Amino acid sequence: MKEKCMRVLLLMLLVTMFSVEGVYAAVITVKGTVASAADAIPLVGCSVVVKGTNTGVVSDRNGNYSVQVEKGKTLVFSYIGFVTKEVKANKTMINVALEEECMQLDEEVVTGYSEVNKRMFTGAVACYGMRMPMPDAEEYNHVSENRFLSAKETPLSTFSVDVDAASYSNMRRFINQGQLPPKDAIRTEELVNYFSYDYAKPTGVDPVRITTEVGVCPWNEKHRLVRIGLKAKEIPTANLPESNLVFLIDVSGSMFGPTRLDLVKSSLKLLVNNLREKDKVAIVVYAGSAGEKLPSTSGSDKQKIREALDELQAGGSTAGGEGIRLAYKIARKNFIKGGNNRVILCTDGDFNVGVSSKEGLESLIEEERKSGVFLTVLGYGMGNYKDNKMQALAEKGNGNHAYIDNIQEANKVLVNEFGGTISTVAKDVKLQIEFNPAQVEAYRLIGYESRLLNKEDFNDDAKDAGEMGAGHVVTAFYEVVPVGVKSDYAGKVDDLKYQKVDDKKQRVYTNSDELLTVKLRYKQPDKDVSKKIELVVKDDKKNQVSPDFHFASAVAMYGQLLSDSDFKADASYEKVVALAKKGLNNDERGYRREFIRLVEAASGLTGRAED
């Protein structure tokens, strides 16, 4: 009897020990490198997840990772095109080599009406026998830099406003990966417009107000720099018009991975958190073909929307054109008169089934925008990112374009700038600047190369232009050569052989001290007739500019350095940093300080590239 009691006590002691060990399992930090087994090249963006949990990290540009995990738990290493590997976390240093594979994407996907095999969406089995495409597979429109123009020969400069900032976050992605971005990936106006500036708010009936400022050009002190700022009226989130949104999500094979479809899901959940009961959301997905994943659902049913997002999986080819048509069809079906009707497209832009060319997509979007449905384009992914198609869709579809490189950027675009991203207050916004030849020898518009318009387009209400959302700000810079300043930028031409201008027909210029006149046209979101507002600008030569002027001009200088502008003159990364530090007064969220860190990193990369 005594021995039996001892055995029971011993058994109870062992059970208690194991229970305590389970409760107080040691948490360790596991570090290491993930590389290809074939050539030992580090894998960037490899997902490292604690099995059975949502805890995980992504490997950096050197393939390094660091994750906290209970000792003995299993780590799952997954990367598109490679065999997933599971490793027990029994030590603090674990280096992993992944084998390449041909992966068949044949999972099931749930539509709004039935559960179907993913082959319906793919049309074929996708096979990946290689690692993630490298940046040379990315596509950008060639940027032909704006030149200096003579104020006498070409006194009018006309362009469509641009509130997009995709080029900035895309640039940041390259810098954070340790490489300089391609020159054509840099759209200087989008770098400048990534930041908000303290412009005066509209106070009258117009939803937009013009602000101007003139100072010394920091990269060429003989020239003047003119800043033109636009501020759209602000609307509290609670007072925004009710929204009819359609999430159009690319679930093709190229969207597989933590920085693609996984990030799309997390991003849209942030937006869902801001929805009100009167707002509605539908979800359309496309791969080999398109389907409705979630019928239009009230914003009060957030859990239902989140669950629909969680069920999405990636695989197959990319029928983007078909998805666009279906998304607009559903948006029209649930159209809210006087509301915000919008398709939010989430993709890497790698369309390859049906309508897939840049020109074909432009034509499709131009037709669909007539419905009164606006477009927001959110770009994701790296390696095969098709920036040129994303930009074209946004420009032709009464829309805006952002590149989401991390969840912080998603929060900026879809939470902090929620109203500006999804609620338009002025459409077809155009600027036309008339320069006074008595004061200006030559000028050039910095950036906006893809937004240039003919001078006749300014008064043509049939000509499409940019949109401004609630609270949006737009900034444009002109570099000006004053009269009397020697410069080769304006260029010289021979006297005309077949045309002669006698003294009686010489142009007559006014003696006005005005530098230029800014003219702006806009339409109300539901109207087709534009309204014009004007502002005269003089140069007092006092050179007392605001901190915002310093910072914005620093960003403009940085853009010209990255794109290797013909007109960067005395620009340098050191000057960019020094100038940006004069404009840190308006930096509540730290974006401006992050910019300085990126400039310093780019400077180091430039030196390394030259070596």
SS (H, E, C) 516-581: EEEEEEEECCCCCCCEEEEEEEECCCCCCCCHHHHHHHHHHHHHHHHCCCCCCCCCCHHHHHHHHH
Lowest mean pLDDT: which of 129-138, 344-353, 457-466, 576-585?
129-138
* Alpha carbon distance 223, 213 (integer Å): 14
- Identify which of 577, 611, 610, 573 has the alpha carbon closest to the alpha carbon of residue 593: 577
Q: What's the alpha-carbon Rg for the chain, to the nearest Å?
A: 28
42 or 311, higher pLDDT: 311
- Identify which of 1, 91, 104, 86 has the alpha carbon closest to the alpha carbon of residue 47: 86
pLDDT for 604 beyond 70: yes
Q: What is the reported pLDDT for 392? A: 81
- Mean pLDDT along residues 485-497: 78
- Mean pLDDT along residues 121-125: 33
| pLDDT band for position 129 (cuts 50, 70, 90) | very low
Q: Is residue 21 classed exposed, middle or buried when 0-12, 13-18 and 19+ CB atoms within 10 A define those classes?
A: exposed
Mean pLDDT (the chain) is 84
- Mean pLDDT along residues 361-372: 79
List, in sequence order, every residue forming a beta bridge with 249; answer none if it has no partner: 285, 346
316 or 604, higher pLDDT: 604
Q: What is the reported pLDDT for 579? A: 97
pLDDT tens-digit map of 68-94: 999 999 999 887 667 889 999 999 989
610 or 472, higher pLDDT: 472
pLDDT for 20 beyond 50: no
Q: Are 199 and 462 in contact (CB under 8 A)?
A: no
**What number of residues does the chain have?**
611
* Alpha carbon distance 396, 356 (integer Å): 15
| pLDDT band for position 505 (cuts 50, 70, 90) | low
pLDDT for 27 beyond 80: yes
Q: What is the reported pLDDT for 371? A: 83
pLDDT for 238 beyond 70: yes
Phi then psi for residue 144, to 5 deg, are -95, 105
Q: What is the reported pLDDT for 298? A: 95
- Mean pLDDT along residues 517-526: 94
pLDDT for 346 beyond 90: yes
Torsion angle of the four alpha carbons 79, 84, 88, 89, in this order, in degrees rounded to the nearest 10 = 0
Q: What is the reported pLDDT for 79? A: 78
49 or 492, higher pLDDT: 49
**What percent of the chain is predicted at pLDDT more than 70?**
85
* Alpha carbon distance 536, 519 (integer Å): 9
- What's at 113, amino acid-wise? Y
Q: What is the reported pLDDT for 7? A: 62
Q: What is the reported pLDDT for 301? A: 95
**Which residue carries 């049309």 as its tokens?**
123
208 or 348, higher pLDDT: 208
Identify which of 35-39, 45-49, 295-299 has the greatest average pLDDT: 295-299
| pLDDT band for position 96 (cuts 50, 70, 90) | very high
497 or 188, higher pLDDT: 188
pLDDT for 18 beyond 60: no
Q: Are 289 and 319 in contact (CB under 8 A)?
A: yes
- Mean pLDDT along residues 380-393: 83
Q: What is the reported pLDDT for 332? A: 93
Q: What is the reported pLDDT for 395? A: 79
| pLDDT band for position 351 (cuts 50, 70, 90) | low
Ranges of beta strands (E only) in 13-72 are 27-36, 47-50, 56-58, 64-70
Q: Are strands 340-347 and 374-379 parallel, antiparallel or unpaired?
A: parallel
* Alpha carbon distance 112, 107 (integer Å): 17
Q: Are 255 and 261 in contact (CB under 8 A)?
A: yes
Q: What is the reported pLDDT for 52? A: 82
**What percent of the chain is predicted at pLDDT more than 90?**
53
* Alpha carbon distance 230, 211 (integer Å): 6
Q: CA separation (Å) from 444 to 51, 180, 386, 473, 510?
A: 57, 26, 29, 21, 22
Would you give the distance in Å from CA 135 to the centre of its chain?
17
Q: What is the reported pLDDT for 130? A: 37
| pLDDT band for position 611 (cuts 50, 70, 90) | very low
End-to-end CA separation in angstroms for the chain: 84
Q: Are strands 224-232 and 208-216 parallel, antiparallel or unpaired?
A: antiparallel
pLDDT for 363 beyond 90: no
List, in sequence order, every residue forming a beta bridge with 28; answer none if it has no partner: 69
212 or 129, higher pLDDT: 212
pLDDT tens-digit map of 274-286: 899 999 999 999 8
Q: What is the reported pLDDT for 323? A: 86
Q: What is the reported pLDDT for 403? A: 93
| pLDDT band for position 122 (cuts 50, 70, 90) | very low
| pLDDT band for position 40 (cuts 50, 70, 90) | confident
| pLDDT band for position 358 (cuts 50, 70, 90) | low
Q: Is the dihedral of CA 207, 164, 594, 571 positive or negative?
A: negative
